[in-house]
């Protein structure tokens, strides 16, 4: 097996203007940085430009320093916001969970095997049930019970822990609590939630059982960024699977949980690989 190539990632956004691709590619070439892959998109609806480039510096740190200096000046002329991500960067990720363990289990497996470029410094839950999973992985587990009366205090503790552990991403892995407007605003754009997607929509208790009673033909899941609109944040990834009359409620639950796990993991990977760009309430997601 060959050695994995060390690639830096450049991401940038700016208003739509002539020459945006050229200023990126020319700056990389002139400073001896070799482009391996590139995705770009000009959004006519928002008149915004997004670009993601994976590259390798042919001259090592010298190439990187030359690029930073040159591109910083050129990007300013395009009102371009840009970021460089190191090849070995692992995003510090806080996981919030309640009692369902399927999404947490899946994320922990992908974290343990290195499939996801994340570090998990802590897990937060409003129940004690999944502490054994955190203990097995050697991850601190914080049990923070919540009631309507203690919600502001509990969310204050959650926010302090996220900051104390220097988290760059928050994942709601079936965290069965509605976040307050205050906490949602703080996490806007860097917290990912997962929920089932059933058509027609079924709300309340046992949605898969409700869906079965109506003879649903599709089950799915949606992963999106958290904002103050409940389950209506910018969508990162979705999954769907056909079902039929042979599937009973417990079958729908099992299939739904599997799709939720896969969809959430894919959204986390897209985010950590810098493939997701926010343009208002929508996302641009570059494929791998």
DSSP letter for each residue of 32-80: TEEEEEEEEEEETTTTEEEEEEEEEETTTHHHHHHHHHHHHHHHHTTT-
Instruction: Identify the three-state secondary structure at position 144.
Output: coil
Q: Return the closest-CA partner of residue 58 out of 84, 32, 28.
A: 32
Residue 209 burial by Cβ neighbours in a 10 Å radius (0-12, 13-18, 19+): middle
Q: Return the closest-CA partner of residue 241 out of 220, 222, 257, 262.
A: 220
Residue 231 annotated in active site: yes
Q: Which long-range contacts (CB under 8 A, 24 or more apart) does 198-207 make?
A: 206/249
The residue with tokens 């822990």 is 161
Candidate list 129, 231, 251, 258, residue with the active-site label = 231
Contacts of 183 (CB under 8 A, 6+ apart): 155, 158, 159
Give the integer Cα–Cα distance in Å for 120 and 140.
9
**Which residues are identified as catalytic?**
231
């Amino acid at each position: 097996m060959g050695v994995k190539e060390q690639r830096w990632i450049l991401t940038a956004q700016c208003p739509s203007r002539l020459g945006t691709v050229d200023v990126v590619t020319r700056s990389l070439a002139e400073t001896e940085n070799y482009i391996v892959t590139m995705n770009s998109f000009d959004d006519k609806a928002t008149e915004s430009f997004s670009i993601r480039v994976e590259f390798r510096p042919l001259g090592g740190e010298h190439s990187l320093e030359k690029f930073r200096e040159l591109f910083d000046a050129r990007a300013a002329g395009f009102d371009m916001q840009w970021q460089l991500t190191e090849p070995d960067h692992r995003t510090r990720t806080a996981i919030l969970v309640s009692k369902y363990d399927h999404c947490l289990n899946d994320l922990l497996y992908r974290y343990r095997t290195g499939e996801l470029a994340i570090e998990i410094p802590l897990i937060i839950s409003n129940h004690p049930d999944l502490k054994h999973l955190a203990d097995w992985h050697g991850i601190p587990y914080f049990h923070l019970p919540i009631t309507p009366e203690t919600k502001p205090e509990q969310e204050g503790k959650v926010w302090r822990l996220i900051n104390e552990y220097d988290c760059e991403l928050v994942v709601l892995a079936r965290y069965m609590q509605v976040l307050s407007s205050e906490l949602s605003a703080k996490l806007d754009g860097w917290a990912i939630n997962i929920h089932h997607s059933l058509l027609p929509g079924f709300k309340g208790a046992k949605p898969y059982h409700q869906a079965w009673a109506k003879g649903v033909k599709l089950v799915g899941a949606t992963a999106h960024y958290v904002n103050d609109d409940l389950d209506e944040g910018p969508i990162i990834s979705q999954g769907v699977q056909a079902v039929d009359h042979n599937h009973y409620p417990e079958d729908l639950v099992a299939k739904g949980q599997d799709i939720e796990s896969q969809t959430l993991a894919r959204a986390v990977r897209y985010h950590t690989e810098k493939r997701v760009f926010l343009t208002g309430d929508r996302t641009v997601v570059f494929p791998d």
